[in-house]
Amino acid sequence: MVGSQQVNRGRAIEHRFGFGAGTRFIVGIAVAGFSAAGWGAEWSVQPAVGVSVGRESNPLLTTATHESSTVTWVTPSMRIQGRTELSEIDLGLVLTYKDYSTDQVEDADQQILSLNSFTQTSERTRLGLVGEFRRDNLRETVNTGTSASSGGDADVGLQQANVTRDRRNLRPTWTQALSEKNSVQFAYEITHVGFDNAASTGLVDFTDQNLALGFSHSINPRDSFTIGTNVSRYRASAIDNATDTTRLLVGFARAFSETSRGSISVGASKTKEDIAGTVNHASGFVLEATAKEISETMELDGTISHDVSPSGSGRSIQSDQLRMRLLRSISPTLRFALRATLLRNKVLEGSDASVDRRYYEVEPALEYQWTSQWSMRTGFAYRYQKFDADPNSANSNVVFVGVAYNWQRLFFGR
């Protein structure tokens, strides 16, 4: 009996903290990334922890009667980096635990493990591997502080119930230089999403795969031209829904300076959608524009896109997205931070009351570097959501203050 209780307790812990399949995925991408970076690398490790307190007006972002709540969240994190002359690996771990004072909102814990690596196997060949394991809910974006992108996540804000999502994403790439000015890239991406506690929510597990081939031509040291095609395959097998999309894009990229660059790609898409045996065909345009800058005084990472995106609603959807992250130094110890996410989602054909919506998140903040290791942060976060079929909209705001401690970076290897 005692042994049975211990097994059940272990299974409960595994379920709560995303062990099991999630751990196997994490270990898999970590091993692949470490192999790509090589064991002869110089490594660095930097742990950190942050604690914040705020007062949120509408934590569940509901149009019904609701209570405000004091929310406290703790965010430990760790970043591991390795580098050789021919390879790099960047591994990040972010854990977040949120405690709400009201009984209307359940406490939540979320985990993200991300991997970004590459290795130069020869003078002309480069292999890359990007992966992410994300165990979270759909209430709001989990801010890792490293990128504006969330993998094109179109489901943020979709469900305010205490639903747990496991999102696994892996993207290997192979880039081959054909000459000094021309190169080709082959990429494969797979995303699997599963939900717990999703009964009566309409959320459905799905798998999305994407196969892409691109060609790049360097016009001059700053400008390049790209053309590419990709095919994506969405499957929600539990309800027998499937979507296949083919895209053709042309693009232009420019390095404005040594620290800033931008790109834009436009094209067309054709989609075949099979919803429970009913087949629809749709055509549309595709757009993606990016801007990045990393300098001593500013960090900017922004994306605007219009594309067909996978969704936990049980079908692929048309999603317009704007994602931005900005850090701007005001003085040597003070900087301004801004994070924003804007979504406009619709089904490909017709309408769906559970899908067609607008969702916004905006978070301006001030960050004060008190010492080399201690920092303080205060800001305001605003969320808004409006479903097309609902005459009412919901919004929430929270004013927060927090402190963070960053340990000194540890170096080892070589």
As a whole number, the mean pLDDT across the chain is 87
Query: CA 404, CA 320: separation in Å to the nearest integer?
Result: 34
pLDDT number for residue 200: 78
User: Average of pLDDT values for 217-240?
Assistant: 95
| Structure tokens belonging to residue 402 | 């927090």
DSSP, residue by residue, 109-150: EEEEEEEEEEEE-SSSEEEEEEEEEEEE-SSS----SS-S--
List the domains of the chain with CATH numbers: 2-412 (2.40.160)
CA angle 413, 411, 94 (to 5 degrees): 110
* Cβ-contact 414, 41 below 8 angstroms: yes
pLDDT digits (tens, 9 = 90+) for 24-74: 554 454 555 445 445 567 899 999 999 999 999 999 899 988 899 999 999
- Count Cβ atoms below 10 Å from residue 380 Cβ, excluding itself: 13
User: Average of pLDDT values for 239-261?
Assistant: 95
DSSP 31: H
User: Average of pLDDT values for 243-271?
Assistant: 97
Q: Which of 106, 108, 50, 99 is nearest to 70 (CA)?
A: 99
pLDDT number for residue 72: 97
pLDDT number for residue 144: 47
3-state secondary structure of 207: strand
User: Average of pLDDT values for 81-105?
Assistant: 92
Lowest mean pLDDT among 165-174, 190-199, 285-294: 190-199
pTM for this entry: 0.86
DSSP 86: S
**For residue 138, what pLDDT band results from cuts at 50, 70 and 90?**
confident
With a cut of 80, say whether residue 197 has pLDDT above it.
no
Q: Is the dihedral of CA 280, 286, 288, 289 positive or negative?
A: negative
| Structure tokens belonging to residue 86 | 């021919």
Q: Is the dihedral of CA 98, 66, 104, 343 positive or negative?
A: negative
**For residue 76, what pLDDT band results from cuts at 50, 70 and 90?**
very high
